[in-house]
Structure 1
Amino acid sequence: MRLKELEGVLQQVETFQSPKVHLEQYATSAQLASHILYTAENSYDDVCGKMVADLGCGSGVFTIGARCLEAAYSVGFDIDEDALALASQNLLDFEMDCVDLVRCDVTVDSVEVSDASDSDDGDDEEEEEASDSEDDDVTGSKGDSKETDVGDGAACAASELESARPGTTSSAANPTAIATATAGGEDGCSQWRRWKNQFDTVFLNPPFGTKANAGIDIAFLKRAIQLSRGAVYSLHKTATRKYIKQLSDKQLGVACEVVAEMKFDLPKTYKFHRKKSVDVAVDLLRFDCSRSTMLAAS
């Protein structure tokens, strides 16, 4: 698939109607996502035939794009039930198979399932606090997710990934059935470890981190490295490049490469945003996890 064709397909992906500020939900544009995926495939052979994870999948743009480039199997992770419902509908609209969606939290060691959707109580207070900062350029729905089978993804997964998947209950008669991971107890706490090193490639556009959410970008990055046995592609503010490269070398035990310098077009999304849009300078970073040592015992 050519770049323009991929971008055209991803432009059809429905995005957030009511994004949540406390999750720093900003949609990754079709242009940005298509260039990242196309680069990963054409420069590094990291998509076609690979097991791919979309960490903080939001509406599922990387999940869908990876399958468009013939990834063998694609899994989207997000914390927000509404985002997962949107992603699920997008996957149905695109008639995608060999995909799963998982509800989980990257900041804890269990894949948890909640019957109640995330409460928006206190959003106004968080928005007011966020308005005090000009760091309005936080990125996309990058939380974690609820396990949702769309299509017969299990039949498409390689045996080693299938055996590592958390226990799910999908229905062949109902391909949109929500399958939930084990929550709580010893089994729940082991869920993330069961996904460890099960993906060839992980894509993420993590939250940049507001004052109330500092460090969440690194939490996402660490989780992505834990999941990958190959490569991680992640967007980070260019201003943090030196810090992240030092972190990856000294603490995370992975090689970090600046693949591209890009602009993240941040449209006016929340009421505290004063400008119609802001261009944020970001780096597309590629982390080589094939020889990762620091997180091996995670």
Structure 2
Amino acid sequence: MRKKHLAMLLSRLEGFPEPKPELEQYRTPGDVAAELLWLAHSAGDIEGKVVADLGTGTGVLAVGAKLLGAERVYAVEVDGKALKVARKNAERAGAEIEFINADVSEFEEKVDTVIMNPPFGSQRKGADRPFLLKAFEVADRVYSIHLAKPEVRNFIKKFSADNGFTAIRLTTVPFEIPAQFRFHRKRLERILADIYRFERY
């Protein structure tokens, strides 16, 4: 499967039925998801591996990982309604995924690779920390999306080093957020996001 085809397929998946602002539930754009997955796949961290998508939302990254040949995919999500959509998306894509309705802090399985698009921390400062901590606990390889801002980059570098990981910024991509909450003033917000690969020392 080509990256372009993967992006198109992921773009067609169903989004959040009732997005919650406190959970920063923004759909991961198909092209951004495909970019992260392709980078992980090219590094040998997807095909034949056990993968976890922490905070899977509607399952975009989890479905993509399975389509790229992951041996097993765990998809962890606290929001039951979002998980219901994720199950439907996986079924539609023919992707066999193990869904877990729980907070990421409760996930205990050791995996080869974690893939995730955690909250950016725009609504609640530090909202991405529990995701990074859990990822560092259960895997030696982590791929994650974060805001492309100097203060975030500095935090990521220090936080990962403090937890025994090297943070490698692989690329910066445009990330589109459609208006879905009352506080949104634009119909479409375009921001920049960094895709990272974290490796244990």
- Give the alignment's Cα RMSD to 1 decimal: 1.4
Partner of 1:237: 147
Report the CA distance between 1:49 and its aligned residue: 0.6
Aligned equivalent of 1:11: 11
Deviation of 1:45 after TM superposition, in Å, equals: 1.0
Contact 2:17 2:81 in 1 (8 A): no
How far apart are the structure 1 equivalents of 2:89 and 2:117?
A: 19
Report SS of the residue matched to 1:271: coil
CA deviations over 1:245-284 (Å, ceiling 9, x no partner): 02211x1111110001112111111121001122222211
1:77 is displaced (CA, Å) by 0.4
Which is strand-richer, 1 or 2?
2
Letter of the 2:27 counterpart: A
Matches within 5 A, 1:200-239: 200-211=112-123, 213-228=124-139, 230-239=140-149
- Please report how far the alpha carbon of residue 94 of structure 1 lies from its aligned counterpart in structure 2 after TM superposition: 2.0
Out of 256, 272, 277, which is 2:188 matched to? 277
Q: Which residue of 2 aligns with 1:178?
A: none
> Which structure's CA Rg is the greater one?
1
Gaps (5+ residues) in structure 1? 112-191, 292-298
| 1:248 aligned residue | 160
Tell me which residue corresponds to 2:38: 38
Alignment-mate amino acid for residue 84 of structure 1: L
Count of residues paired in the alignment:
199
> 5+ unaligned residues in a row in structure 2: which ranges?
none
TM-score after normalising by structure 2:
0.94
Deviations 1:137-157 (A, max 9, x none): xxxxxxxxxxxxxxxxxxxxx
User: Secondary structure at 2:112's aligned position in 1?
Assistant: strand
Q: Distance in 1 between matches of 2:154 and 2:95?
A: 39
3-state DSSP of counterpart to 1:28: coil
CA displacement 1:216-250 (0-9 Å, x = unmatched): 1111111111121x31011111211012102211x
